[in-house]
Structures are given as structure tokens and as C-alpha cells.
Amino acid sequence: MNYVVYVNHPNNKAIVHSTSCGKYVNRRRDKTVNGFWSEPFETLEEALDYARKTGKKRVDTCALCIK
């Protein structure tokens, strides 16, 4: 399984999702005024490291796809 990070500027958060998550699969565009999706990462730890480095206040995993 691979992982991606959605960086949301207005909500000051970076959330890690699996590439099979519906939120990622059904995304309408990769870059918007509100945020962007990262490139895929091979491990959860790599994705979390990227999320932390964004400097966003809230860094977390998706409650729907990562348990």
C-alpha cells in the first residue's frame, strides 16, 4: 500500500491517506487554492515525515482509511 498527504492551507493541516482512500481516488484536482496532494510514498513513516515537514499545526492520518 502507498500513502499520500493532503495539505490543507485554510485548516492548517496535513492528513495522510492511503492511495486507495476514496478521498484520494475521487479527488477533482491535485492543486487548488485550499491545498494539494503530495506525490505517493511507499511507507506510512515517509508520508508522516513529509506531513510533519509541511509545518502545518495538525498532522494526522485519515480516520477512514488508516486504522
- What CA–CA distance (Å, rounded) separates 58 from 52? 9
Q: Give the mean model confidence (pLDDT) for residues 12-33.
A: 90
For residue 21, what is its C-alpha cell?
482512500
Please say whether the beta carbons of 44 and 66 come within 8 A. yes
Confidence of residue 52 (pLDDT cuts 50, 70, 90): very high
Instruction: Report if pTM > 0.85.
Output: yes
For residue 12, what is its C-alpha cell?
492548517
Confidence of residue 1 (pLDDT cuts 50, 70, 90): confident
Please report, rounded to a whole number, the percentage of residues in the chain having pLDDT higher than 70.
100
- Give me the residue spans of the domains in the chain: 3-61
- Residue with C-alpha cell 496535513? 14
